[in-house]
A and B are shown apart, each in its own frame.
Chain A
């Protein structure tokens, strides 16, 4: 079936560090891929979205590239800030249309 894997449960960085959050997926369809961000005490909100038509998404300094060859959709940011501390969810929307979420990666950015 369709699945999303985020191997990193937690990532701790200092301000201005480079961020890389790993996400791989498995599906027999050509899905839309998404990253959601959940700040403390809030629900998840869409950070960026990539379809098969446009293989890269950029939002608020974050970027993710849809790599069909490696079935990956890693999230990157050149320089993180303390305000980026949150949980990040990778997700895919397969042809069945039921969104499949990864388990989330908690990012802690130290001042």
Chain B
């Protein structure tokens, strides 16, 4: 088995601040994802990457940057945090896009 680690677990930021979330997986999966989860809105795809150094935009990429530095890690940057923003950011990985995704525990963001 493998595990997905997300850091930090909780992130409190200020309006306008640039914030970076990190994700590591030891499944040796090729594909990694970042989702945003808001109450009542399900999971919305922000960015995904099908291999090292690849980046693909999801439906919610505006306001975010991502970086796939190596196969095992995928980071997400909130370029300018919005006041009163509150959401959970979930990282996931899969062997290929059509395969089962395995999720990390999430990073909970609160912007004051």
Contacts and interface: CB of A to CB of B under 8 A. Distances in A.
Contacts of B104: 43
Contact of B41 (A42, A98, A103): A103
A102 B105 contact: no
A41 B42 contact: no
The interface size bin for chain B is 20 to 34
A103 B4 contact: no
Nearest to A10: B40
A104 B40 CA distance: 7
A45 interface: yes
Interface residues of A, number: 19
Given A43-B90, A44-B90, A97-B98, A104 B103 contact: no
Interface in A52-76: none
SS class of chain B's interface: helix, strand, loop or mixed?
loop
B40 A44 contact: no
A110 to B, nearest CB: 21
B98 A101 contact: no
Interface in A34-50: 34, 41-46, 49
Contact of B4 (A43, A46, A98): A43
Interface of B: 4, 40-43, 45, 48, 58, 90, 92, 96-98, 100-106
Interface of A: 9, 32, 34, 41-46, 49, 89, 93, 97-99, 101-104
Going nearest first, the 10 A-B pairs with the smallest beta carbon separation are A43-B103, A97-B97, A103-B42, A101-B43, A97-B98, A101-B42, A44-B103, A46-B100, A43-B104, A43-B105
